[in-house]
Amino acid sequence: MAFSQKLEAWYTDHGRTLPWRGIDDPYRIWLSEIILQQTRIEQGRDYWFRFVEAFPTVTDLAAASEEQVLRLWQGLGYYSRARNLHCAARLIAGQGGRFPNTYEEILKLPGVGRYTAAAIASFAFRLPHPVIDGNVYRFISRLHGISTPIGTDAAYREFEALLLRLIDPQRPDRFNAALMDFGSLQCRPQPDCAACPFAGDCEALRSGRVGLLPVRAPKPKPTDRWFLYFDLRWQQDGDTYGLLQRRTANDIWRGLFELPLLESDHRLTESELQAEADRFLADSFGLRHVAYTVGPERLHQLSHRTIHARFLSAELPHAPAVCPPQLQALTVAEMEKTPVPRLIDKHLHRL
List pLDDT tens digits, range 189-216: 999 999 999 999 999 999 999 999 999 9
292-323 exposure pattern, b = at least 16 Cβ within 10 A, e = fewer: bebeeebebebeeeebbbbbbbbebeeebeeb
Alpha-carbon dihedral of residues 80, 84, 87, 92, nearest 10 degrees?
A: -170
* Every domain of the chain and the residues it spans: 3-212, 223-350
* Residue from 8, 33, 66, 160 carrying the catalytic annotation: 33
Direct distance between the N- and C-terminal alpha carbons of the chain, in angstroms, rounded to an integer: 61
CATH superfamily of 3-212: Hypothetical protein; domain 2 (1.10.340.30)
Computed over every residue of the chain, the mean pLDDT equals 96
Instruction: At 323, give phi and psi (nearest 5°).
Output: -150, 125
The class level of CATH for 223-350 reads alpha beta
For the cut 90, the answer to whether the pLDDT of residue 264 exceeds it is yes
Whether the CB-CB separation of 149 and 215 falls below 8 Å is answered with: yes
Q: What is the tens place of the pLDDT at every residue in 304-340?
A: 999 999 999 999 999 999 999 999 999 999 999 999 9
Instruction: At 21, give phi and psi (nearest 5°).
Output: -100, 155
**Whole-prediction pTM:** 0.84
Q: Helix 66-73 and helix 41-54: axis angle, to 10°?
A: 150
> Residue 8 catalytic?
no
For residue 1, name the pLDDT band (cuts at 50, 70, 90).
low
Can you tell me whether residue 236 is helix, strand or coil?
strand
